[in-house]
Amino acid sequence: MTRVFLVGEDVGVYGGAFGVSDGLFQKYGPERVLDTPISEAGIAGLATGAALTGMRPIAEIQFMDFITLSMEQLVLQAAKLRFMLGGKVTVPFVLRTPAGAGTGAAAQHSESLENWFVHVPGLKVVMPSTAADAKGLLLAAIEDPNPVIFVEHKLLYRTKGPVPEGYYLTPLSRSEVKRPGKDVTIVATSLMVARALEAATQLASEGIDVEVVDPRTLKPLDPDPIIESVCKTGRVLIVHEAVKTGGFGGELAAVIAESEAFDFLDAPSGGWRVDIPVPYNRDLERRMVPQVENIVDAARRLVKEAR
């Protein structure tokens, strides 16, 4: 019997709140695709317990906002058990969760809480930005012996892209340069990678050559491509969706400041950072989250100020 199974609210017959597991119940049956009651703590506890007994569950929290209800199981149990028991056990499970704004779902269904888990030793945190990365990173996360928080932006479900056939792994902890450039580095995560690439295309018409770097795995972070890029361009713009205080952008800024890249900076690092709950009003929601035009303006200012 395979050790991998999917568990969560409405992941079975309904196919998931965003259709991600559509057809899996019909293909694999109720022993491998399990619907649960509305209990995020129960889902995380089930995944932790199953992983301790040798299974490799994939659990889904329907909205990342509700991951708050599973913090005890994730932070006090799953993240710490391998360390506290001297490596005699592993806790290999993946917790998938849709995050991010842009659907008009307001403050309780639109948050980006990834950095809460970056803060916790023992957890790995993944944020794919493309379909190919989503497949390779998810397969790598399933094989990993540690609990992995796998954050999927809701708006990326609508996107399409080439995906290699067959079974392949994208290593956890390998940042990728999505677009090479020489004038300014944009470090972006998740949906913001696509927006940064679109901004880079627009800026190219102005003679500004943008390099876009995607960490892909926030923890463990692969800092080398980011540092190398900043050393080359001398300017860096950090773009993520989470709120200002304690967001992952601050960690990236610290990594750059503590590296040799700091001496190569021709201008202060820039970023998009706000500190409010996600508004229900669509205009306000849009203003809170970085848009392509915001990224273009910020990158343009960095280049012009440095020149």
Instruction: Render pLDDT for 56-93 as a digit per residue (tens, 0 to 9).
Output: 999 999 999 999 999 999 999 999 999 999 999 999 99
Among 9, 60, 109, 153, the active-site one is 109
Q: Of residues 40, 60, 111, 211, which has the active-site annotation?
A: 40
CATH 3.40.50.920 domain range(s) in the chain:
176-306
- Looking at residue 111, what is its pLDDT? 96
The reply to whether 40 belongs to the active site is: yes
pLDDT at 306: 62
Of 39-53, 123-137, 258-272, 283-297, which range is least confident?
Answer: 258-272
Q: Which residues pair with 94 in a beta bridge?
A: 58, 148
Beta-ladder partners of 33: 6
CATH class, domain 4-158, is alpha beta
User: Are the CB atoms for 142 and 2 separated by under 8 Å?
Assistant: no
- What integer pLDDT is reported at residue 261 of this predicted model? 96
The two tokens of residue 86 are 């001297």
Q: Indicate whether 1 pLDDT > 60.
A: no
What pLDDT is stored for residue 203 in this prediction? 98
Give the pLDDT of residue 269.
78
139: burial class by Cβ within 10 Å (0-12, 13-18, 19+)?
Answer: middle
Q: Give per-residue pLDDT as tens, 234-289.
A: 999 999 999 989 999 999 999 999 999 999 999 887 766 678 999 999 999 999 99
Distance CA 78, CA 63 (A): 20
Residue pLDDT, tens place only, 144-183 = 999 999 999 999 999 999 999 999 999 999 999 999 999 9
Is pLDDT at 55 greater than 70 in this prediction?
yes
The CA distance from 22 to 9, in Å, is 13
Using the predicted structure, report yes or no on whether residue 136 has a pLDDT greater than 60. yes
Statement: residue 94 has pLDDT above 60: yes
- Give me the mean pLDDT over the 81-107 stretch: 97
pLDDT at 271: 67
Q: Is residue 208 within 8 Å of 159, Cβ to Cβ? A: no
109 counts as catalytic: yes
Bridge partners of 56, per DSSP, are 4
* CATH fold label, 176-306: Rossmann fold (3.40.50)
CA–CA distance, 148 with 210 (Å, rounded to integer)? 31
Task: Write out the residue limits of the CATH 3.40.50.970 domain(s) in the chain.
Answer: 4-158
Per-residue confidence band for 307, with pLDDT thresholds at 50, 70 and 90? low
Q: Which of 100, 89, 102 is nearest to 49 (CA)?
A: 89
pLDDT at 272 (0 to 100): 61
